[in-house]
Amino acid sequence: MSWRMRVVHTTGYAYQVPVSRSFNEARLTPRADSRQNVILNRVETVPSTRSYRYVDYWGTTVTAFDLNAPHTELEVTGSSVVETEPFAGPAEELSWEQLRDTPVTDRFDELLAATDYVPRDRRLAGVARQLTRGMPPAKAVVRAAEWVHREMNYLPGTTDVHTSAPEAFAERRGVCQDYAHLSLLLLRGMGIPCRYVSGYLHPDPEAEVGRTVAGQMHAWVEAWTGQWWGYDPTNDIPVTEQHVSVGVGRDYADVPPLKGIFSGSGSTGLEVVVEITRLA
């Protein structure tokens, strides 16, 4: 079953003292792929800026913009209408031996390597080996996500955007970013190419058409076992028509919704509002 959704993501910055200039990147444009069709997208700012778009190394659309006049506030809004479908699951599944062949490991070397958020961890490597026993690769992906869902407790405020997978696991608490990072650590320990996905999740599978609900950024994983397919360890479900993917990369560092630098002093205030409406 396909859905059509409108997503409006607004981020507001307030500076204690005027900022003379700022340089920014926004990753707020949904991906166009076999599961998604982007009907409309625009990224707007207040004050108004000139922007340009490019596709980054990992395939995520980036809107870059700079503001060279003094300002005390900056608002960035990404508005999209997108049609989504659930992942059908892997149509082709390779064996463990095929995944470990040199052509595959060379092709996906960067998506098998450790990162700051997803470092190598001896204890979790042992867990990964246990989870593969008697399991073909695709089922091992689901088994790893189920293990993460079972072992972790979803508790906002206990981690932040800088928390690594082992740090979150040590506390057994975290949010979707931590669930995704921990799943990636296990999958890479198994030798399965995998990537971090940022996007949005409509919270209601029985959503009423035309009703706007409060949403938030969400994260899940995609694994390559012959082709790319997605699973959501936070909710322990396959990726469905409720998921809107925006960015992919090795971990969160590759897909922050907004990042930038500014010239000036003083701290900032931040407010983020996400609204999602099912249109059809």
What is the predicted pLDDT for the residue at 264? Answer: 76
Q: What is the CATH number of the domain that holds 11?
A: 2.60.40.2250
* Domain total in the chain: 2
Three-class secondary structure of residue 154 per DSSP: strand
Q: Do the Cβ atoms of 177 and 118 come closer than 8 Å?
A: no
**Does residue 43 share a domain with residue 169?**
no
91 lies in a domain?
no
Enclosing H/E stretch for 95: none
CA distance 37 to 81: 9
**Does residue 79 share a domain with residue 60?**
yes
Average of per-residue pLDDT across 30-48? 96
pLDDT tens digits, residue range 101-138?
Answer: 999 999 999 999 999 999 999 999 999 999 999 999 99
CB atoms near residue 195 (< 10 Å): 25
**Does residue 103 share a domain with residue 77?**
no
For residue 41, the number of C-alpha atoms closer than 13 Å in the C-beta half-sphere is 19
Average of per-residue pLDDT across 49-58? 96
**Does residue 106 share a domain with residue 45?**
no
What is the predicted pLDDT for the residue at 267? Answer: 60
User: In the chain, pLDDT over 70 holds for what percent of residues?
Assistant: 98
Residue type (1 letter), 117: Y
Domain of residue 250 covers: 96-254
What is the predicted pLDDT for the residue at 11? Answer: 96
Q: What is the CATH number of the domain that holds 233?
A: 3.10.620.30
Give residues with Cβ within 8 angstroms of 116, minimum separation 6: 164, 251, 253
Mean pLDDT of the chain: 95
Pick the range with the lowest mean pLDDT from 89-98, 122-131, 227-236: 89-98
192 lies in a domain?
yes
Residue of 63, 29, 69, 30 whose CA lies nearest to 48: 69
pLDDT range class, residue 268, cuts 50, 70, 90: confident
Phi and psi (nearest 5°) for 165? -60, -50
| pTM for the whole structure | 0.96
**Does residue 249 share a domain with residue 117?**
yes
CA distance 6 to 207: 13
248 lies in a domain?
yes
What is the predicted pLDDT for the residue at 88? Answer: 74
272 lies in a domain?
yes
Q: Do the Cβ atoms of 189 and 131 come closer than 8 Å?
A: no
Phi and psi (nearest 5°) for 137? -55, -50
Residue 266 has pLDDT above 90, yes or no: no
